[in-house]
């Protein structure tokens, strides 16, 4: 996404088209409406989850290792920084070994907790060996530990596009959470290259990732 200067007159490589003023039959292409986008996202979400579950466990493990390398490239020194990860779900990259390495290198880690639909996530500290309980969708969440505000948020992707927009599970948890954080975190989307889409048809409520990391590399 390029920077736009709204203070000065627009500059065009060629004269702007005024056919919409001259020809009543002319119609500029319009983006799909939200109802149409929701239907499309639901179908793509199901397709992409099924696709990644068809990948062998060994292949997913190898790709997760490459993703972990990409995370180290993006983040650099983790000492003294608080990283929120996630518990792997339905074939997502399993980065629990990388989470343990963050703690070993002097960083701290947390897991997100869904309280209820329509509400932002909260974050509680978690390190390997801490007690967990079943939360929403039976995903393990920390039992104890204080609520924290992460410096870095790792968000799992069902799909993504080249502009950094994320297709999630449809609950809107991460968008609400990122909008509600009291300070800006570095937000990194994590997924497989097979989840890349030409566009997710971003809407006003969609918040792009600062970086996306797949086994193929880093997308800014």
Topology classification of domain 45-219 = Rossmann fold (3.40.50)
Q: Which of the two residues, 213 and 5, has the higher pLDDT score?
A: 213
Q: What pLDDT does 6 receive?
A: 31
Gap between the terminal Cα atoms of the chain: 10
pTM attached to this predicted model: 0.83
**Cβ contact 172:38 at 8 Å:** no
Residue 20 in this model has a pLDDT that exceeds 50: no
**How many CB atoms lie under 10 A from the CB of residue 81?**
18
pLDDT tens digits for range 79-96 = 999 999 999 999 999 999
| Mean pLDDT to the nearest integer, 56-62 | 98
The pLDDT score that the predictor gives to residue 31 is 62
List pLDDT tens digits, range 141-160.
Answer: 999 889 999 999 999 999 99
pLDDT range class, residue 22, cuts 50, 70, 90: very low
Segments making up each domain of the chain, as ranges: 45-219
Q: CA dist 182 to 92, 137, 175, Å?
A: 28, 27, 14
Residues 6+ apart with CB under 8 A from 4: none
């Amino acid at each position: 996404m390029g920077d736009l200067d709204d203070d000065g007159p627009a500059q065009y490589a060629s004269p702007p088209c005024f056919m919409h003023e001259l020809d009543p039959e002319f119609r500029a292409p319009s983006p799909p409406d939200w109802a149409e986008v929701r239907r499309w996202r639901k179908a793509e979400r199901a397709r992409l989850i099924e696709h990644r579950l068809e990948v062998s466990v060994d292949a997913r493990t190898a790709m997760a290792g490459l993703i972990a390398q990409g995370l180290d490239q993006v983040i650099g020194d983790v000492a003294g920084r608080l990283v929120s990860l996630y518990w792997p779900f339905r074939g997502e990259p399993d980065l629990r070994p990388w989470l343990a390495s963050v703690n070993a290198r002097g960083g701290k880690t947390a897991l997100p907790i869904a309280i209820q639909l329509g509400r932002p996530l909260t974050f509680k500290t978690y390190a390997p060996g801490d007690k967990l309980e079943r939360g929403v969708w039976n995903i393990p969440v920390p039992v104890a530990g204080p609520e924290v505000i992460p410096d870095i948020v790792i968000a799992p992707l069902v799909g993504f596009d080249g502009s950094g927009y994320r297709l999630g599970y449809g609950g809107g948890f991460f968008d609400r959470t990122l909008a509600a954080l009291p300070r800006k975190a570095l937000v990194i989307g994590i997924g497989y290259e097979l989840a890349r889409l030409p566009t997710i048809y971003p809407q006003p409520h969609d918040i792009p990732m600062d970086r996306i990391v797949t086994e193929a590399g880093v997308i800014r």
